Amino acid sequence: MIPRRLAATRCRILLFVIAFLAGYFFEYTRNITFKNISSVIPHHHQTDEQAHLHPVAIKTLTTNVNFTVPLPLSTSTGATTEKLTQDDTQNNGPRANAAFVVLLQNKDLHDMRKTMRNLESVFNRKHGYPYVFLNNVPFTEHFKTHIRAMTTAPVKFGLIPKEHWSYPSFINKTQAALNRVDMENRNVPYGESESYRHMCRYMSGFIFKHELVQEYDYYWRVEPGVSFSCDLLNVDPFMIMKTKKYKYGFTIALPEFVDTIPTLWENVKRFRKLHPEHIAKRNSLEWISYDKGDTYNNCHFWSNFEIVDTSFFRSKAYLDFFQFLDDAGGFFYERWGDAPVHSIAAALMLDRREIHFFNEIGYRHGMYEHCPESPELQLKCACDPKDNVDWVQFSCLRRFLEI
């Protein structure tokens, strides 16, 4: 017979051991998932039915990011820490010929309204830049009324022409459908989605051709559900683009899923050989390749946020690049995103100085965030720098800032 007190002690020891083992196992699984970051990063965009894609991967990821290394965020900001005055409610200074451009669906109404409330309050109530909303089906009257109610700035609604949202004639749709099933079986993000592919191709090659977008020199891409954490009333990113002659602006850079772009880089290499005249002298190839262009390191700007000089996308260099990639079929046979397409184009065809990191624009989309770290900007931003997207093993932003 074991005395009762001793039994209780044993029981406590057993519980302790179990708790210890459980804790150890938890740590262990955390460490496993930590190792291969390229395979757990979910993708951008959420206009589609897969808005809450891969919650497991996302959960894993957030517990595994190494936050301890500060970002080298010393690039100039143009932001000030002055308190607001009456004058700050209206932008009387020079303005750019620019607009927000949003590709979305009727069902995105409420997410979009939240984003507009936020964007108006931190930036646009002073600057009054117009919005252009685009959809491949007509917007409902309900949608339009409720969007218009969010801003005093001009608002335009456009329908995407069929020829910009359909298959090129040479695509074998049967094969494309088989590839989608295969990618779905391999759990490739958005691997199964046909509409996502049309969207990526549209953003890559057509959005700047839409009649409502054509008139603008600059656009700032916005997606439903994103948020902006910094006071930008005294910052006009469009004017920064214009005065500094920047062609492409971003806030987040991270690696692309390799399974979505198996042959993209091979095609990029063929294009470089075919069109050396389109490659900029002081390009950023070093940012996207560790071996002088032989392989792609998968770094890309997260293009759900981008501020662009549309003359870049309308240039012969970019149009040739898009046509070349479109002819290769990868938008449909694989799942090439507009993010790597825009990023590789910017890296190869722009001067390094024409690409700008907008550190002062705190931005969040889904689980990913850019939050400025400098003490000066922290006074203007409501975000936690610990939530920054930056991987110790694979820092696309750091690499970009260092080249």
Ligand X SMILES: *[C@@H]1O[C@H](CO)[C@@H](O)[C@H](O)[C@H]1NC(C)=O
Residues of the shown chain interacting with ligand X in the complex, contacts defined by CB under 6 A = 36, 38-39, 66, 68-69, 172, 174-175, 178, 258, 392
Residue 60 vs 315, nearer CB to ligand X:
60
For 247, half-sphere exposure in the C-beta direction (CA atoms, 13 angstrom radius) is 19
Q: Which is nearer to ligand X, 37 or 230 (CB)?
A: 37
Is 306 labeled as catalytic in the residue annotation? yes
Q: What's the min distance (Å) between Cβ of 41 and ligand X?
A: 10
Comparing CB distances to ligand X, the nearer of 85 and 174 is 174
CA dist 127 and 1 (Å) reads 83
Min dist CB 198 to ligand X, Å, is: 19
What minimum distance in Å lies between the beta carbon of 177 and ligand X? 9
What lies within 8 Å, CB to CB, of 122 at 6+ separation is 228, 229, 230, 231, 232, 233
Which lies closer to ligand X via its Cβ, residue 61 or residue 235?
Answer: 61
- Asked if residue 279 lies in contact with residue 315, where contact means CB atoms within 8 angstroms, the answer is no
From the CB of 293, what's the least distance to ligand X, in Å? 20
User: Terminus-to-terminus CA distance in the chain, angstroms?
Assistant: 74
| CA R_g for the chain | 23
Least separation in angstroms between CB 24 and ligand X: 16
- Cβ distance to ligand X smaller for residue 15 or 392: 392
Catalytic residue, chosen from 306, 334, 354, 360, is 306
Which DSSP helix (H) or strand (E) runs through 197?
helix 194-205
Nearer to ligand X, 171 or 212 (CB): 171
CB of 38 closer than 8 Å to CB of 257:
yes
Residue 138 CB neighbours (<10 A): 12
- The first and second tokens of residue 106, run together, are 């009727």
Supply φ then ψ for residue 220, to 5 degrees. -115, 115
Long-range contacts of 272-281 (CB under 8 A, 24+ apart): 272/348, 274/324, 275/317, 275/320, 275/321, 275/324, 278/316, 278/317, 278/320, 278/321, 278/348, 278/349, 279/348, 279/349, 280/348, 280/349, 280/350, 280/351, 281/351
Question: Rounded to the nearest whole angstrom, what is the least distance from the CB of residue 257 to ligand X in the complex?
Answer: 8
Q: Give catalytic residue positions.
A: 306
